[in-house]
Amino acid sequence: MNTTERAEKKSEMEILLTRVFYISVFTFLTAASAFVKIPMYPVPITLQTLFVLLAANILGKKDGTISLLLYLMVGLSGIPIFANGGGPSYIFQPSFGYLIGFIPAVYFTGIMVEKINYNNYKETFILLLTSNLIGLAIIYIFGLSYLYVCINFLLKNSITIHQVIFSGFIIFIPGMIIKLLT
């Protein structure tokens, strides 16, 4: 192996280690943000969606998705890094649908962000805002659907669509606006 090949190998290794570092950082930030919460039922208000969107915007579709998959796997393995604990039984939490929604949200937001041409400030702002709104919409579609099914069928309680929309979406709007503008 000559000097050029060694330099290329070292460069590849540095790139890989940098990626692993940033993936780990966003996994940690997503976990830590679960503990910055306002306890509400059935879904607590947390900062997690902020870090999901940041992962998509900074890491992109591939590494952002890896980061959020790692977060879900660690939480489901039993380490209590979700807003209300962890472990395999967490799938029976009404808020679990939001966590599932993190994966397609970070992926599709990442795709859109990677296609943005950053030459025009106004256009960039509008496209980033739109990309992140779509990401939030994905999270809420998964979250609200799961919330309704979980409470009505898994937990055998009763909740109307209107109650789901209020408790799983409407109360989050002020926080969403703040997160989108940061």
Interacting residues of 51 by C-beta distance below 8 A, sequence separation 6+? 26, 29, 30, 33
pLDDT tens digits, 3-53: 566 656 778 899 999 999 999 999 999 999 999 988 888 888 899 999 999
The CATH T-level fold of domain 3-181 is Arp2/3 complex 21 kDa subunit ARPC3 (1.10.1760)
> CA 97 → CA 15, 45, 91, 130, 147, distances in Å?
33, 14, 8, 22, 7
* pTM attached to this predicted model: 0.91
Distance of alpha carbon 125 from alpha carbon 114, whole angstroms: 14
3-state secondary structure of 37: strand
Distance of alpha carbon 19 from alpha carbon 152, whole angstroms: 41
